[in-house]
Structure 1
Amino acid sequence: MSRNADDLPVAAAPGDPSPPPGLLVAGCFDQPAGYRVDRPDGSASWLFTWTTHGLGHLRQGSAEARAGAGDLVVLAPGVRQRYGVAPGADRWRFWWAHCQARAGWLTWLRPYTVGDGMYAVTPVPGALHGRIEAALRRMRADARWTGTGLPPGPGPDGDLVAVAHGTAARELALGSLGEAVVLAAATARTAPPPPGTDPRVRQAQAVIAADPGAPHSVRSLAEGVALSPSRFAHLFTRQTGRSPMRALREARLRHAARLLESTDLSVERVAAASGFVSPFHFNRVFRERFGVPPGAYRAAASR
């Protein structure tokens, strides 16, 4: 049965749709063993989870993560996802939010990518857990604001779900969520590169990150690190979990999102500046990645 965000007073069940990307929907759940959500087509919006007690298990495409207290796990839209209480655990208590991610957040999340649109930010220093949870309480409280009078206080951590309908409520809630994301990502200790990571792969990644809109190709990237195209593509895919062109497309989409948020360039010029030759192709892949077309993304970011 189709349901909208207002129909989510309790935890999502298998088969329930995710909230639409234009809203911010947030809550705090304490789920027992057996709880699980499976979305074969992925979510229409980004999902942010912050675990406070117990253990969760999240899978997105071929990527997976176990989330314990103080772990922030983020799932991008459009990829099959499954999450719930981890096998053998008796509960999973976690804050969550569905919304459209701001492009600036991706800069902070990128070092923690696991693959297939999953970001596992862990471990976050314990001294910051209280502040992050306070920001998430404000996020849910801000989402409930009607725009008149004073915003409501944080209130208890129960299973109440808040939906930010108004522009002011959504902006305040996104600000609080952004604070939590930045605090976690800026202080978590990133894992060192896996033993044996090839410096030529890291060099190619740096070239892509420095100028994603440049006319890179497998051949040009391979030549830059003195490898044959086939050897480079195999090495890059084996060590990063995705092909060079898939990594390049992701970098270009993030760059395009930043341009949409921070400039008044037309969508066509944003596409060209981000390395997309065809505006039609750009519109299609941007919508697949962020859940909305470029024009709608810019409109939502400017509210």
Structure 2
Amino acid sequence: MRAEDLPVTAVSGVPSPSPGLVVVGHFDERPGYGVDRPRGSDSWLFTWTTGGRGRLRQGDSEVRAAPGDLVVLAPGVPHGYGVEPGAAHWRFWWAHCQARPTWTPWLHPYDTGDGLYAVTPVPTPLHDRVEAAFRRTHTDARWPGREEQPGIAVAHHTAARELALCALEEAVLLGTATARTPPPPPGLDDRIRRAQELIAAGPDAPHTVRSLAGQVALSPSRFAHLFTEQTGQSPMRALREARLRHAARLLEATDLSVERVAAASGFASPFHFTRVFHARYGSPPGAYRDGIRAAITAIAVPKGTPIAGPPRNAIPD
């Protein structure tokens, strides 16, 4: 699939891009513009507003987007978006892709419900840098310099996809690390927060309940009880989730063998790793990697078939 095969604006009912692709664009739309996807999207949608105002809804959640707002829609939930009623226009960057597993914890504090993440407000001094990251995402998706539609770029192979995702990751990290976040849950102990930071910083480290407890000056039993009570999961469950997210990213971005991915993610046994990865992501590690690459290189869509872009269905008030 090529960018020139995509319509500048979508046809009603046309599905979103495959999650195996990275598709990036920049639109400046007028009143009456809107997208309505009653079955949602197979891929994540990231939007960064640079002018005017937009409105995005996902399930029962809805937000209005102004310049400096990063709004993200997770896949699988009915959604729609368009120019905010009464606004003169909506200028925004957008990117469809499969979000890296490591991004989910960054976005979690901004979840408004139904998988709609409103990362806002991003501090004004960072707006130019976030937009620059989206511009690089667009440029890198065209690597090594394909001539395509001015507004839309599609990553055609692994290098272009990874470069584009790295640029988009900068935009997501800048936004989620600096926007005003909700306060931590009442009563969250600083020692538990510190343990969470230790796990996030080194998922491959040989952490145990005893070692984590020692680093935050608690007894193992007290630490395990407090961590579970305040986070809703045990320390070892939190560690396993962090290791699985790290492993998924290695599978996406490298050619390391499954055995080396397991070891680099803190799993002593590749057999155990394969079993828990399959349970978490729905396919074994090798198939997970193959599925992503197959989606990139062998999208079964006839040339000229529109698969993306915004239909002219204004979001109802």
Using the size of structure 2 for normalisation, the TM-score is: 0.64
Measure the CA separation in 1 of the matches of 2:19 and 2:42. Answer: 6
Q: Secondary structure at the match of 1:114?
A: coil
2:158 to 156, 160, 167: 167
Measure the CA separation in 1 of the matches of 2:261 and 2:153. Answer: 32
Residue 253 (structure 2) pairs with residue 256 (structure 1):
no
Alignment of 1:116-195 (within 5 A): 116-145=114-143, 147=144, 151=145, 160-192=151-183
Structure 1 residue runs without a partner (length 5+): 212-223, 226-231, 237-243, 288-292
Amino acid at match of 1:264: V
Q: Secondary structure at the match of 2:36?
A: strand
* 8 Å contact kept, 1:51–1:94: yes
* 8 Å contact kept, 1:13–1:36: no
The residue number in structure 1 matching 2:222 is none
Structure 2 residue runs without a partner (length 5+): 201-224, 251-259, 263-268, 295-317
* 8 Å contact kept, 1:72–1:184: yes
Q: Secondary structure at the match of 2:121?
A: coil
Q: Secondary structure at the match of 1:64?
A: strand
The CA deviation at 1:7 is: 3.1
Task: Report Cα offsets for 1:95-146 as digits up to 9, x if no partner.
Answer: 000011112222322221212222111101111111111121121111112x
Measure the CA separation in 2 of the matches of 1:83 and 1:207. Answer: 39
Q: CA RMSD in A?
A: 4.4
Alignment of 1:10-159 (within 5 A): 10-145=8-143, 147=144, 151=145
Q: For structure 1, which segment, 107-116 or 47-56, has the greater mean C-alpha deviation from structure 2 after superposition?
A: 107-116
Residues 271 and 81 of structure 1: is their aligned pair in 2 closer, same or farther, counting only changes over 3 Å?
Answer: farther
* 8 Å contact kept, 2:20–2:293: no
Task: Report Cα offsets for 1:214-256 as digits up to 9, x if no partner.
Answer: xxxxxxxxxx68xxxxxx9xxx9xxxxxxx79xxx99987763
Q: For structure 1, which segment, 68-77 or 180-189, has the greater mean C-alpha deviation from structure 2 after superposition?
A: 180-189
* 8 Å contact kept, 2:20–2:292: no
Q: Secondary structure at the match of 1:50?
A: strand
Q: Secondary structure at the match of 1:103?
A: coil
Answer with 1 or 2: which has the greater Rg: 2
The residue number in structure 2 matching 1:240 is none
How many equivalent residue pairs? 259
The CA deviation at 1:68 is: 0.6
Task: Report Cα offsets for 1:247-290 as digits up to 9, x if no partner.
Answer: xx99987763333324623886347657xxxx5x6454x89xxx
The residue number in structure 2 matching 1:219 is none
Q: Secondary structure at the match of 1:132?
A: helix
Residue 269 (structure 2) pairs with residue 269 (structure 1):
no
The CA deviation at 1:166 is: 1.8
* 8 Å contact kept, 2:101–2:248: no
Amino acid at match of 1:50: W
* 8 Å contact kept, 2:70–2:118: yes
Measure the CA separation in 1 of the matches of 2:111 and 2:239. Answer: 13
Measure the CA separation in 2 of the matches of 1:37 and 1:267. Answer: 44
Using the size of structure 1 for normalisation, the TM-score is: 0.67
Amino acid at match of 1:81: H
Residues 114 and 5 of structure 1: is their aligned pair in 2 closer, same or farther, counting only changes over 3 Å?
Answer: farther
The percentage of counterpart residues that share the same residue type is 51
The residue number in structure 2 matching 1:218 is none
Q: Secondary structure at the match of 2:48?
A: strand
